[in-house]
Amino acid sequence: MSSKVIAVINQKGGTGKTTLTMNLAAGLARRGRALVVDADPQGSAGHWVRMSSDERPFPTSVISVAGPLSREVERFRRDYEYVIVDCPPTLEGAFAGAAMSVADTVLIPVLPSPVDLWGSVRMAKGLEDARMRNPDLKAFIVVNQVEVRNALSRAMRHALMEIDIPALDSSLKRRAIYRRAALEGCSVYDLGKPGEPAAAEVEAIIQEVFES
Ligand SMILES: Nc1ncnc2c1ncn2[C@@H]1O[C@H](COP(=O)(O)OP(=O)(O)OP(=O)(O)O)[C@@H](O)[C@H]1O
Ligand SMILES: [Mg+2]
């Protein structure tokens, strides 16, 4: 099986790592066997699935991994087509570096302001180091919480062009339905008509990363 390991990383807190992880996992689970690895000691992905109801279980399992990932990931690759790793908001410690060493693709959610993006410049250095061990590693910025009615500011588009990591054309808008999905322990795919615009955004990301 040619499996894909996707690490969702940003050393800044609250940029949407867990939100992207869980909704992406739900979208990928519609295509093949998918697993979420919760590499964050805060355990947010684990909390998320524990909010789900018996009638509507989350479509993937979530496994907590406290230490370096490399040992477990080989086993996960055998059993799953998609392994999505939710990392903690730090580049220190064993988590993000280990995730970048074993991943095929790194996704970096950033908030739509240049200041937040500059905070991610250190990520670019971490990626360079990881590519020495993992030369085929792909990495993309995913802009999250874009205002529904506004396009990205000029300053933000300019800042995105300055940074070495390419940004996806697809982004996630700021929508209350993403918070609702977390509260209900489900994904935006499970929330009927109100979830459709958000699910379309997640689909666009999947297509851009995996299917183009
Ligand atoms: N596109 C969005 N629209 C609306 N709310 C969002 C969106 N993305 C994330 N949020 C909300 O922003 C907050 C932070 O998101 P999330 O927990 O996914 O970030 P994180 O990067 O995983 O945080 P941490 O660094 O603490 O792990 C949450 O309350 C989440 O529901
Ligand atoms: Mg998180």
Across the chain, mean pLDDT equals: 92
pLDDT digits (tens, 9 = 90+) for 168-209: 999 999 999 999 999 999 999 999 999 999 999 999 999 999
Give the HSE-up count for residue 152: Cα atoms under 13 Å, Cβ half-sphere.
23
Angstrom distance (rounded) from CA 112 to CA 131: 26
Mutation probe of ligand 1 site: the residue of 178, 186, 205 with most atoms within 8 A of C-beta: 178
Contact assessment for residue 195 and residue 188, using Cβ atoms and an 8 Å cutoff: yes
Query: To the nearest whole percent, how much of the chain has pLDDT over 90?
Result: 73
Among 3-17, 44-58, 120-134, name the one with the lowest average pLDDT.
Answer: 120-134
- Structure-model confidence comparison of residues 93 and 75, the more confident one: 75
- Indicate whether this model's pTM tops 0.85: yes
Atom of ligand 1 nearest to the CA of 21: 18
Who contacts 54 (Cβ-Cβ below 8 Å, separation ≥6)?
A: none
Q: Which atom of ligand 1 is nearest to the CA of 13?
A: 25
**Residue 39 burial (10 A CB sphere; 0-12, 13-18, 19+):** buried
User: What's residue 146's pLDDT?
Assistant: 95
- Is pLDDT at 122 greater than 90 in this prediction? no
* pLDDT at residue number 96: 82
- Give the pLDDT confidence score for residue 141 in this predicted structure: 96
Q: Indicate if the alpha-carbon torsion angle 36, 12, 43, 50 is positive or negative.
A: negative
Residue type, 129: D
Domains defined for the chain, CATH in brackets: 4-210 (3.40.50.300)
CA nearest ligand 1 atom 13, residue: 14
Q: Residue 39: which residues within 8 A CB-CB, separation 6 or more? A: 65, 69, 85, 86, 87, 88, 95, 98, 99
Ligand 2 center–CA 18 separation, angstroms: 4
Lookup result for tokens 């109100």: 194
Question: Model confidence at 1, in pLDDT bands (50, 70, 90)?
Answer: low
What kind and span of H or E run contains 36?
strand 34-38
Amino acid at 9: I
- pLDDT of residue 87 exceeding 70, the answer is yes
**Mean local confidence (pLDDT), 90-99:** 79
Does the pLDDT at position 138 exceed 90? yes
H or E element at residue 27:
helix 17-29
How far away, in angstroms, is 156 Cα from ligand 2 center? 23
**CA-based end-to-end distance of the chain:** 20
